[in-house]
Protein backbone atom coordinates (compact mmCIF):
# COMPACT_ATOMS: atom_id res chain seq x y z
CA UNK A 1 0.00 0.00 0.00
CA UNK A 2 2.85 2.40 0.84
CA UNK A 3 4.46 1.74 -2.55
CA UNK A 4 1.14 2.50 -4.25
CA UNK A 5 0.93 5.92 -2.63
CA UNK A 6 4.54 6.64 -3.59
CA UNK A 7 3.80 5.79 -7.24
CA UNK A 8 0.68 7.99 -7.23
CA UNK A 9 2.57 10.88 -5.63
CA UNK A 10 5.41 10.67 -8.14
CA UNK A 11 2.98 10.43 -11.07
CA UNK A 12 1.12 13.50 -9.78
CA UNK A 13 4.36 15.47 -9.33
CA UNK A 14 5.45 14.49 -12.81
CA UNK A 15 2.09 15.53 -14.23
CA UNK A 16 2.17 18.84 -12.37
CA UNK A 17 5.18 19.94 -14.44
CA UNK A 18 2.55 20.93 -17.00
CA UNK A 19 2.25 24.18 -15.05
CA UNK A 20 5.86 25.06 -15.88
CA UNK A 21 5.19 24.37 -19.54
CA UNK A 22 2.11 26.59 -19.52
CA UNK A 23 4.05 29.45 -17.92
CA UNK A 24 6.70 29.15 -20.62
CA UNK A 25 3.93 29.39 -23.22
CA UNK A 26 2.82 32.72 -21.75
CA UNK A 27 6.28 34.26 -22.14
CA UNK A 28 7.45 32.51 -25.32
CA UNK A 29 4.24 32.19 -27.33
CA UNK A 30 5.68 34.02 -30.34
CA UNK A 31 8.84 31.91 -30.55
CA UNK A 32 7.93 29.21 -33.06
CA UNK A 33 11.44 27.82 -33.11
CA UNK A 34 11.21 27.20 -29.35
CA UNK A 35 8.00 25.24 -29.86
CA UNK A 36 9.63 22.95 -32.43
CA UNK A 37 12.76 22.59 -30.30
CA UNK A 38 10.67 21.68 -27.25
CA UNK A 39 8.54 19.19 -29.17
CA UNK A 40 11.69 17.53 -30.53
CA UNK A 41 13.16 17.29 -27.03
CA UNK A 42 9.92 15.74 -25.71
CA UNK A 43 9.86 13.21 -28.55
CA UNK A 44 13.50 12.32 -27.94
CA UNK A 45 12.86 11.66 -24.25
CA UNK A 46 9.82 9.47 -24.96
CA UNK A 47 11.56 7.48 -27.69
CA UNK A 48 14.63 6.95 -25.51
CA UNK A 49 12.51 5.80 -22.55
CA UNK A 50 10.56 3.44 -24.79
CA UNK A 51 13.49 1.73 -26.51
CA UNK A 52 16.35 2.03 -24.01
CA UNK A 53 14.41 1.22 -20.84
CA UNK A 54 10.89 -0.16 -21.32
CA UNK A 55 11.56 -2.46 -24.29
CA UNK A 56 15.07 -3.36 -23.11
CA UNK A 57 13.71 -4.44 -19.72
CA UNK A 58 10.79 -6.33 -21.26
CA UNK A 59 13.17 -8.25 -23.52
CA UNK A 60 15.09 -9.45 -20.45
CA UNK A 61 11.91 -10.78 -18.87
CA UNK A 62 9.86 -12.12 -21.77
CA UNK A 63 10.24 -13.83 -25.15
CA UNK A 64 10.99 -11.49 -28.05
CA UNK A 65 7.84 -12.47 -29.93
CA UNK A 66 5.60 -11.42 -27.04
CA UNK A 67 7.53 -8.15 -26.64
CA UNK A 68 7.00 -7.34 -30.32
CA UNK A 69 3.32 -8.27 -30.01
CA UNK A 70 2.82 -6.07 -26.94
CA UNK A 71 4.66 -3.13 -28.55
CA UNK A 72 2.58 -3.41 -31.74
CA UNK A 73 -0.63 -3.79 -29.73
CA UNK A 74 0.06 -0.59 -27.79
CA UNK A 75 0.83 1.32 -30.98
CA UNK A 76 -2.21 0.01 -32.90
CA UNK A 77 -4.65 0.37 -29.99
CA UNK A 78 -3.92 4.06 -29.52
CA UNK A 79 -3.99 4.53 -33.29
CA UNK A 80 -7.53 3.12 -33.32
CA UNK A 81 -8.57 5.29 -30.35
CA UNK A 82 -7.01 8.31 -32.04
CA UNK A 83 -9.01 7.67 -35.21
CA UNK A 84 -12.30 6.65 -33.62
CA UNK A 85 -12.54 9.35 -30.96
CA UNK A 86 -13.11 12.85 -32.24
CA UNK A 87 -10.45 14.95 -30.57
CA UNK A 88 -8.54 18.03 -31.57
CA UNK A 89 -4.76 18.01 -31.71
CA UNK A 90 -3.38 20.94 -29.78
CA UNK A 91 -1.67 22.54 -32.73
CA UNK A 92 -1.95 25.86 -34.43
CA UNK A 93 -4.74 24.73 -36.74
CA UNK A 94 -5.21 27.00 -39.72
CA UNK A 95 -8.27 27.63 -41.86
CA UNK A 96 -8.40 28.94 -45.43
CA UNK A 97 -7.61 32.43 -44.21
CA UNK A 98 -4.45 31.28 -42.50
CA UNK A 99 -5.62 32.42 -39.05
CA UNK A 100 -5.93 30.38 -35.87
CA UNK A 101 -9.31 28.65 -35.68
CA UNK A 102 -11.37 27.99 -32.57
CA UNK A 103 -10.04 25.10 -30.46
CA UNK A 104 -12.72 22.65 -29.36
CA UNK A 105 -13.36 21.49 -25.81
CA UNK A 106 -12.92 17.98 -27.21
CA UNK A 107 -9.23 18.74 -26.76
CA UNK A 108 -9.67 17.03 -23.40
CA UNK A 109 -9.62 13.63 -25.11
CA UNK A 110 -6.41 14.59 -26.87
CA UNK A 111 -4.79 15.47 -23.54
CA UNK A 112 -5.74 12.09 -22.09
CA UNK A 113 -4.21 10.33 -25.10
CA UNK A 114 -0.99 12.26 -24.41
CA UNK A 115 -0.69 11.85 -20.64
CA UNK A 116 -2.58 8.72 -19.57
CA UNK A 117 0.00 6.27 -21.05
CA UNK A 118 2.81 8.04 -19.20
CA UNK A 119 1.30 7.28 -15.79
CA UNK A 120 0.66 3.73 -16.96
CA UNK A 121 4.33 3.38 -17.93
CA UNK A 122 5.47 4.72 -14.55
CA UNK A 123 3.39 2.20 -12.59
CA UNK A 124 4.53 -0.71 -14.77
CA UNK A 125 8.16 0.35 -14.37
CA UNK A 126 7.93 0.60 -10.59
CA UNK A 127 6.39 -2.88 -10.58
CA UNK A 128 9.61 -4.23 -12.10
CA UNK A 129 12.25 -2.21 -10.27
CA UNK A 130 12.30 0.99 -8.21
CA UNK A 131 15.31 2.32 -10.14
CA UNK A 132 13.49 1.82 -13.44
CA UNK A 133 10.35 3.48 -12.08
CA UNK A 134 12.23 6.54 -10.85
CA UNK A 135 14.18 6.84 -14.10
CA UNK A 136 11.01 6.66 -16.21
CA UNK A 137 9.21 9.13 -13.92
CA UNK A 138 12.07 11.63 -14.10
CA UNK A 139 12.36 11.23 -17.85
CA UNK A 140 8.62 11.83 -18.29
CA UNK A 141 8.80 14.91 -16.05
CA UNK A 142 11.59 16.28 -18.27
CA UNK A 143 9.48 15.50 -21.33
CA UNK A 144 6.33 17.14 -19.92
CA UNK A 145 7.68 20.67 -19.65
CA UNK A 146 8.51 21.34 -23.33
CA UNK A 147 5.58 19.22 -24.52
CA UNK A 148 3.00 21.08 -22.46
CA UNK A 149 4.63 24.37 -23.46
CA UNK A 150 4.05 23.52 -27.11
CA UNK A 151 0.51 22.30 -26.49
CA UNK A 152 -0.44 25.39 -24.48
CA UNK A 153 0.79 27.94 -27.04
CA UNK A 154 -2.42 27.97 -29.17
CA UNK A 155 -4.54 28.49 -26.04
CA UNK A 156 -2.35 31.38 -24.90
CA UNK A 157 -2.37 33.01 -28.34
CA UNK A 158 -6.16 32.79 -28.58
CA UNK A 159 -6.46 33.99 -24.94
CA UNK A 160 -8.54 31.01 -23.87
CA UNK A 161 -7.62 31.31 -20.19
CA UNK A 162 -10.45 29.14 -18.88
CA UNK A 163 -9.67 26.35 -21.33
CA UNK A 164 -5.98 26.61 -20.46
CA UNK A 165 -6.74 26.13 -16.74
CA UNK A 166 -8.96 23.16 -17.51
CA UNK A 167 -6.20 21.78 -19.70
CA UNK A 168 -3.68 22.07 -16.86
CA UNK A 169 -5.92 20.31 -14.33
CA UNK A 170 -6.85 17.51 -16.70
CA UNK A 171 -3.29 17.03 -17.90
CA UNK A 172 -1.99 16.86 -14.31
CA UNK A 173 -4.63 14.27 -13.32
CA UNK A 174 -4.32 12.07 -16.43
CA UNK A 175 -0.95 10.63 -15.35
CA UNK A 176 -2.11 9.54 -11.85
CA UNK A 177 -5.18 7.99 -13.51
CA UNK A 178 -2.91 6.02 -15.83
CA UNK A 179 -0.77 5.03 -12.84
CA UNK A 180 -3.83 3.69 -11.02
CA UNK A 181 -4.70 1.46 -13.99
CA UNK A 182 -1.11 0.19 -14.11
CA UNK A 183 -1.08 -0.51 -10.37
CA UNK A 184 -4.35 -2.44 -10.51
CA UNK A 185 -3.22 -4.60 -13.41
CA UNK A 186 0.19 -5.42 -11.93
CA UNK A 187 -1.36 -6.14 -8.50
CA UNK A 188 -3.77 -8.76 -9.85
CA UNK A 189 -1.46 -10.22 -12.52
CA UNK A 190 2.23 -9.58 -11.60
CA UNK A 191 3.40 -11.77 -14.51
CA UNK A 192 1.93 -9.30 -16.98
CA UNK A 193 4.45 -6.57 -16.08
CA UNK A 194 6.91 -7.10 -18.96
CA UNK A 195 3.99 -7.19 -21.41
CA UNK A 196 2.75 -3.87 -19.98
CA UNK A 197 6.21 -2.32 -20.34
CA UNK A 198 6.34 -3.17 -24.05
CA UNK A 199 2.70 -2.11 -24.47
CA UNK A 200 3.41 1.28 -22.84
CA UNK A 201 6.45 1.70 -25.11
CA UNK A 202 4.26 1.20 -28.19
CA UNK A 203 1.78 3.78 -26.93
CA UNK A 204 4.46 6.35 -26.16
CA UNK A 205 6.17 5.92 -29.53
CA UNK A 206 2.83 6.45 -31.26
CA UNK A 207 2.24 9.68 -29.30
CA UNK A 208 5.71 10.90 -30.27
CA UNK A 209 5.23 10.17 -33.96
CA UNK A 210 1.56 10.98 -34.49
CA UNK A 211 0.98 13.81 -32.01
CA UNK A 212 4.28 15.64 -31.58
CA UNK A 213 5.85 15.51 -35.04
CA UNK A 214 2.83 17.23 -36.66
CA UNK A 215 3.06 19.88 -33.94
CA UNK A 216 6.60 20.75 -35.02
CA UNK A 217 5.58 20.69 -38.70
CA UNK A 218 2.76 23.15 -38.05
CA UNK A 219 5.29 25.57 -36.58
CA UNK A 220 7.60 25.32 -39.60
CA UNK A 221 10.54 24.13 -37.54
CA UNK A 222 11.58 20.62 -38.54
CA UNK A 223 15.28 21.51 -38.28
CA UNK A 224 14.73 22.71 -34.72
CA UNK A 225 12.70 19.57 -34.10
CA UNK A 226 15.66 17.43 -35.20
CA UNK A 227 18.01 19.32 -32.86
CA UNK A 228 15.57 18.90 -29.98
CA UNK A 229 15.12 15.21 -30.79
CA UNK A 230 18.83 14.46 -30.60
CA UNK A 231 19.18 16.59 -27.47
CA UNK A 232 16.32 14.75 -25.78
CA UNK A 233 17.71 11.30 -26.59
CA UNK A 234 21.20 12.31 -25.46
CA UNK A 235 19.90 13.89 -22.24
CA UNK A 236 18.02 10.74 -21.28
CA UNK A 237 21.03 8.56 -22.05
CA UNK A 238 23.14 10.72 -19.72
CA UNK A 239 20.40 10.58 -17.09
CA UNK A 240 20.24 6.79 -17.26
CA UNK A 241 23.96 6.51 -16.59
CA UNK A 242 23.53 8.46 -13.35
CA UNK A 243 21.00 6.00 -11.92
Chain segment 120-165, per-residue pLDDT in tens: 888 888 878 888 888 888 888 888 787 777 667 766 766 766 766 7
Cα gap 243→240, rounded to integer Å: 5
What is the total count of domains within the chain?
1
Query: What is the reported pTM?
Result: 0.76
192 φ/ψ angles, rounded to the nearest 5 degrees: -85, -5
- Host domain of residue 33: 2-242
User: What is the pLDDT, as a whole number, of residue 96?
Assistant: 38
Confidence band of 207 (pLDDT split at 50, 70, 90) = confident
First to last CA, the chain: 25
* Whether pLDDT at 27 is above 70: yes
Amino acid sequence: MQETWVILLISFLSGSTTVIGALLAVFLKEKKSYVSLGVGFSSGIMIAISFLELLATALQMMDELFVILAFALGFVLVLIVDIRLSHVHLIEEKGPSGHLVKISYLVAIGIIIHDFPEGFAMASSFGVEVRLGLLVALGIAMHNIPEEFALAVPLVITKKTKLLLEFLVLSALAEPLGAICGIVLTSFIPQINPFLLAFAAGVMVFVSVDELVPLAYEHDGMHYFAIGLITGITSFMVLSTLF
